[in-house]
Amino acid sequence: MQSVIKIIELHKSYGTIKAVNGISLSVNKGEMFGLVGPDGAGKTTTIRIMCGLINPDEGTVLLLDKNIVKEKKSIQKSIGYLSQKFSLYGDLTVDENIEFFADIHNVKDFKTRRDELLDFTRLKPFRDRLADKLSGGMKQKLALACSLIHKPKILFLDEPTTGVDPVSRRDFWKILSNLMKEGITIIMTTPYLDEAERCNRVAMMNKGEIIAFDTPKNIKASIGKVVVEIVCSPIRKAYKSIKENTVYDTQLFGDRINVVINNFEKEFPEIENLLIETGINIYDKRVVTPTLENVFIYLIKEAS
């Protein structure tokens, strides 16, 4: 696999806060790579360093075999960046916004490319609408079109679906899947672990450090645990009872509880007896594959 991005021992601090604390990773050509973690994990700082928007305190970042600090202008011609607060011009139409970003990137013959992007994002019927009059999901798709007007080799997306409705979020993912077919490398940050499942590989970040780095499948297998999903009532009483009386990592998801254990046959009877003795009605139970969310919470607790 050809690496298009290499990060070696990257550090960035803001005062006493270590936003990025010695991370190293590589991203392969044509893959969708996810930086995953909660707010404050260091995702945005990392992606802004990769884009050349801020300089690291220490470490090396190579994009397309070029050092981002030393060859910033050359590299930035080959990348697209969609930030959390992407600045569309509300008093310009969809067409005019794309034309503006084509001009910034010195793309002269942009009209064919613009029409392709409008078809691609299904924004063609709205091309004469002012950006301020678009829905949140449409604004994100327009921002994406603006990021792609100069045909970048690498596309950076910083939490692109945060605050977007579920339908638009699904549309956005279809667009990204089609982009990958064109061979574009996509690096995205997201706090949504269900979105990270769609990535080829992910780096889980917490407090400026990478706590797991692999394919979603391998990360889920790495903890060597199983998850038992329990549907019971009253749910909060059951959750509290397991948390207070066992050593198992327990997570509450709506009307069910996930308990991370080593062996169902050996350990579930202990949990079942505890719930029955506490007056809990158990309606259903099943062993499920750990989700990335299960794994992330488990790793955070193990590290603390």
**Residue 189: what pLDDT?**
92
Q: What is the mean pLDDT of residues 195-220?
A: 94
Q: What is the mean pLDDT of residues 297-303?
A: 82
Task: Spell out the residues 6+ positions from residue 102 whose beta carbon is closer than 8 angstroms to its own.
Answer: 110, 113, 114, 149, 150
Could you tell me the pLDDT band of residue 182, with boundaries at 50, 70 and 90?
A: confident
Please give the torsion angle defined by the CA atoms of residues 275, 279, 280 and 281, in that order, rounded to the nearest 10 degrees. 120
Q: Which fold has domain 3-220?
A: Rossmann fold (3.40.50)
Whether domain 223-303 has CATH 3.30.70.270: yes
Q: What is the mean pLDDT of residues 194-223?
A: 93
**Residue 86: what pLDDT?**
63
Domains of the chain by residue range: 3-220, 223-303
Has residue 223 got a pLDDT over 90?
Answer: no
Contact 62, 52 (CB under 8 A): no
Q: What is the mean pLDDT of residues 24-47?
A: 93
Q: State pTM to two decimals.
A: 0.85
pLDDT in tens, 283-295: 999 998 888 988 8
